[in-house]
A = this chain, B = another copy of it.
Amino acid sequence: MNEINPWKSTSIDDYQKLFDEFGISPFDDLLANIKHPHRFMRRGIIFGHRSYDSIVDAMNSGKPFGAMSGFMPSGRVHLGHKMVMEEIIWHQQQGGTVFMAVADMEAHSVRGTSWDDCKRIGVEEYILSLIALGFEPEGGRIYSQSTSPEVRDLAFELGVKANFSEMSAIYGFSGETNIAHMVSATVQSADILHPQLQEFGGPRPVVIPVGADQDPHIRLTRGLADKMNLFHVFQKDGLVKIYSKSAPEAAFKTLAKRLAVDFDTDDITMFQGHIDVKGDIGHVRDAVRDVELLVGGYAFMPPASTYHKFMTGLQGGKMSSSIPESIISLTEDPKAAGKKVMRAKTGGRMTLEEQKEHGGLPDECTVYELMLYHLVEDDTEVLEVKQQCLAGELMCGTCKKRAAGLMEEFLIDHQMKREAAKERLPEFGIDYKF
């Protein structure tokens, strides 16, 4: 890597306060330890994380890990969804078990979408594209919230620990909010945590790739994960401290016995409701997890997260499903999509002369963004585009034609793969008639 990050764009500064105020960590610090980073990672599109080091450690040591995401079955599947799908699929390819939820309880309670429409949109828009992009059944679970009793049971348990005030602070609930809407928020937390249930692989690092605006949901769920656990482990004054308000005395005794296997008994001190250990916190956590599972607890690890930047709308404003010109859906006519690219806002100068003299502004160009995010996999190639643009050697017309061509190619290929995916639904346990 160059000393000056070639991927750094001005817009990343907008996210600085997420680091400062909310304790999201910069993703850069982890990059060197990731063996085959995804282009979103290499290019600074994924810019922040929480606890993603736990995922990197697991990937590098061959330990189990997972990734989870979901989508609300409403509207059409588009490039924004593709970003999350690719991140999930990449983690599957790195050896993780991966989960994709159809958030039908959310769509039904918040948007009033009928269950039939939830199913149809879920399959015909999202699931087909997910499979077409490379999601595999081995170690991959696609499910609907409404038909997953484990998720719904967990949501109810999480709901015991979440009160109206904290939920409304995050989700903007008011007196008019319907109760099912509140339920669907707890179901979202259950989606995130259910991969750590015993029947889905047990406690392990699980990452949720999200946009920066989704961090409040991640923080809520990390808090709930902690509240669900019997034991709480932290370091203080050179000691590892294990506390529990709710664990029965018998559980503490079992824990003490288990600790005595790994640690010198002189290093273990039992108190009423807590145990102090002199030793490595990782080892203590492992022992505590074993015992918590043994006595029927959850032993959830806090879910990890990555944060990605959002693409700009093709017209320059926000990318939004309600502005068709701003967005390209994965199911739209490839020719029409190519035309949208030709009409997109670039970082070009007013005149050809100015462009040649001063160069273009790729960081303000939605066409460059399309190449950066989606259309050009080779880093050298996309950097060449940037440099030629900055040098005034590449004109917008040429660049747009190339991007439009790549977009058409991608959509033709993707839509062929979507057709093939229709045959593969039974491999994912999905029963659907087209």
Contact = CB atoms under 8 A, between A and B. Distances in A.
Interface of A: 105, 108-109, 112, 146, 149, 152-153, 156-165, 167-168, 173-183, 185-186
Contacts of A181: 159-160
Nearest to A177: B164
A159 B173 contact: no
Given A152-B152, A182-B182, A183-B183, A164 B157 contact: no
A122 B135 CA distance: 45
B152 A178 contact: no
Given A146-B156, A164-B173, 18 more contacts: A109-B156, A109-B160, A112-B160, A152-B152, A159-B179, A159-B180, A160-B179, A160-B181, A162-B179, A163-B176, A163-B177, A163-B178, A164-B176, A164-B182, A167-B179, A168-B175, A179-B182, A182-B182
Contacts of A157: 180
A178 B162 contact: yes
A37 to B, nearest CB: 38
Chain copies in the assembly?
2
Given A159-B109, A160-B109, A186 B179 contact: yes
Contacts of A160: 108-109, 112, 178-181
A174 B164 CA distance: 7
A102 to B, nearest CB: 15
A175 B164 contact: yes
28 contacts: A105-B156, A108-B156, A108-B160, A109-B156, A109-B160, A112-B160, A152-B152, A157-B180, A158-B180, A159-B178, A159-B183, A160-B179, A160-B180, A161-B178, A162-B178, A163-B175, A163-B176, A163-B178, A164-B173, A164-B174, A164-B175, A164-B179, A164-B182, A165-B175, A167-B179, A179-B182, A179-B186, A183-B183
Contacts of A161: 178
A176 B167 CA distance: 10
Contacts of A175: 163-165, 168
Contacts of A183: 156, 159, 179, 183
Nearest to A114: B296
Contacts of A163: 175-179
A114 to B, nearest CB: 9
Contacts of A173: 164
